[in-house]
Amino acid sequence: MEELATQVTGISYALDTFYFLVMGALVMWMAAGFTMLESGLVRSKNTAEILTKNVGLYSIACIMYMLCGYSIMYPGGDFQGGYFNALANISILTGSDNDAAAVADGSYYSGLSDFFFQVVFVATAMSIVSGAVAERMKLYSFFVFAIVLTGFIYPIQGFWKWGDGWLNVGNGDVGFLDFAGSGVVHMTGAAAALAGVILLGARKGKYGKDGQVQPIPGANLPLATIGTLILWLGWFGFNGGSQLQVTGIENANAVALIFVNTNMAAAGGLVAAMLLSRIWFGKADLTMILNGALAGLVAITAEPLTPQPLEATLIGVVGGLLVVASIVFLDKLKIDDPVGAISVHGVVGAWGLLAVPLTNDDASMVWQLIGLGSIFAWVFVTSFAVWFVVKATMGIRVSDEEEYEGLDIGECGLEAYPEFVTTDS
């Protein structure tokens, strides 16, 4: 009997850990999604560089989060209020994990599986930045920023909510909810990107003398499309894994509902962006459509569990409409974002946070606004400061000649498509 109970506990622990690892692997796969999406939406002469940026930032995020980010964000019981004390809590480096006693005590999955799941989230946040600053930023300046964001800026605000900080429900009368990170992950990435873009300026030639927008088409739309579909797949892990546990009827049902809602929100966002694009511009602009699907995904991320599937679809629809409008609007403000990252993850991330109270009574609109505002403010201000320092020291923008010639030659010394004849652009 007791033996059986032990066996059952071992199975339950294994299932939750395995579920967590599979979900984490799906989120890791999102790195490939961002990489392809961005490499499809830049010009061919900047493609090798954006590829380098993406694989580089993922690796840097993993290393920084291991070295300090994770312990800042999840300081655990020993946390006394000081963020940097948290650096002491580096058990992740010693690879210790739950033993039978800990499991008996209620730990239902491997601590390392938690680390794995969390680390791919940081990388996601950082990936958002790379698209927005594409085609003009210095490679190594970008990496310096990546170190700071993934090691410090992200974990600190992550701690506020998920690390049981002041924004967490249960701490007093807090009613701020962000299930899988519309705010903590997506809006964070967008806020950091926005700060960077403001200091960096638009790509040469993007805005004409009289302010009109001069489109700079992305070079390879099949890549942008597979990137979007990779993200869509990975998002099942992103949201589905955020339930943190699958065993038990309720948890299993929850994960299933999250999968369905995540999928429906993306479908809704895509169709909405397609129709709006058709009505507004007269054409089915594929890049807008892809952004619409991503907007649906971002929108449902803050609360994929309380809406019914039809509601989830509508939350996605609003996301899809918003993103199209936002992209056009930001261009009017001359905020040049080659892939639409700020609109998809920032504007729609905010929408996701504000949509939570519509279906979840535990959230209050006031607290959602507080959460939104404080995360945005923290990330934007600190990021601005870091970008500013980097700009003042290393510089953040390549020379005009390098921008004209393409960053591939300048930063990577090679071309992404060396044999293909391209028109100069």
Partner 1 sequence: MKLITAIIKPFKLDDVRQAVADIGIQGITVTEVKGFGRQRGHTELYRGAEYVVDFLPKAKVELAVDDEIAEQVVEAIINTARTGKIGDGKIFVTQLEQAIRIRTGETGKEAV
Which residues are near partner 1 by CB under 8 A? Answer: 212-217, 280-283, 285, 287-288, 324, 327-328, 331, 340, 404-405, 409, 413-415, 418, 421, 423-424
CB of 278 to its own copies, least distance (A): 8
Q: Which of 177, 185, 246, 276 binds its own copies (CB under 8 A)?
A: 246
Residue 331 binds which entry of partner 1, its own copies, none, CB below 5-8 Å type-dependent: partner 1
Query: Which burial class, exposed, middle or buried, applies to 209 when counting CB atoms under 10 A from its CB (0-12, 13-18, 19+)?
Result: exposed
Binding mask 303-342 for its own copies (x = CB under 8 A): ----xxxx--x-----------------------------
Distance CA 222, CA 217 (A): 13
Distance CA 153, CA 191 (A): 11
Place of tokens 């395995």: 18
Residue 213 binds which entry of its own copies, partner 1, none, CB below 5-8 Å type-dependent: partner 1
Residue 365 touches its own copies, criterion: CB under 8 A: no
Pick 61 or 324: Cβ nearer partner 1: 324
Residue 340 binds which entry of partner 1, its own copies, none, CB below 5-8 Å type-dependent: partner 1
Pick 81 or 215: Cβ nearer its own copies: 215
Angle value at C-alpha 26, between 23 and 27, nearest 5 degrees: 90
Residue 133 touches its own copies, criterion: CB under 8 A: no
CB of 94 to its own copies, least distance (A): 6
Q: CB-based contacts of 135: which residues, under 8 Å, 6+ apart?
A: 42, 43, 46, 50, 203, 216, 338, 403, 407
Which one-letter amino acid corresponds to residue 267?
A
Pick 341 or 372: Cβ nearer partner 1: 341
- Distances in whole angstroms, Cα of residue 277 to Cα of each of 243, 273, 324, 345: 35, 6, 7, 19
Distance CA 373, CA 183 (A): 10
Radius of gyration of the chain (CA): 21
Residue 133: CB atoms within 10 A of its CB come to: 28
Residue ranges in 140-179 that form contacts with its own copies under rule CB under 8 A: 140
Residue 19 touches its own copies, criterion: CB under 8 A: yes
CB of 243 to its own copies, least distance (A): 11
Residue 289: CB atoms within 10 A of its CB come to: 23
Pick 4 or 392: Cβ nearer its own copies: 4
Q: Which of 78, 99, 361, 400 binds its own copies (CB under 8 A)?
A: 99
- Residue 124 near residue 188, CB atoms below 8 Å: no
Q: Which of 283, 333, 392, 401 binds its own copies (CB under 8 A)?
A: 283
Residue 44 binds which entry of partner 1, its own copies, none, CB below 5-8 Å type-dependent: its own copies
Q: What is the helix (H) or strand (E) element at residue 257, kind and residue range?
A: helix 249-281
Distance CA 32, CA 332 (A): 31
Residue 121 binds which entry of its own copies, partner 1, none, CB below 5-8 Å type-dependent: none
CB of 215 to its own copies, least distance (A): 9
Residue 87 touches its own copies, criterion: CB under 8 A: no
Residue 413: CB atoms within 10 A of its CB come to: 8
CB of 72 to partner 1, least distance (A): 37
Residue 11 touches its own copies, criterion: CB under 8 A: yes
- Residue 73 near residue 181, CB atoms below 8 Å: no
Q: Which of 41, 44, 177, 346 binds its own copies (CB under 8 A)?
A: 44
Q: Which of 112, 213, 244, 370 binds its own copies (CB under 8 A)?
A: 112
Nearest to 272 by CA among 253, 295, 244, 252: 295
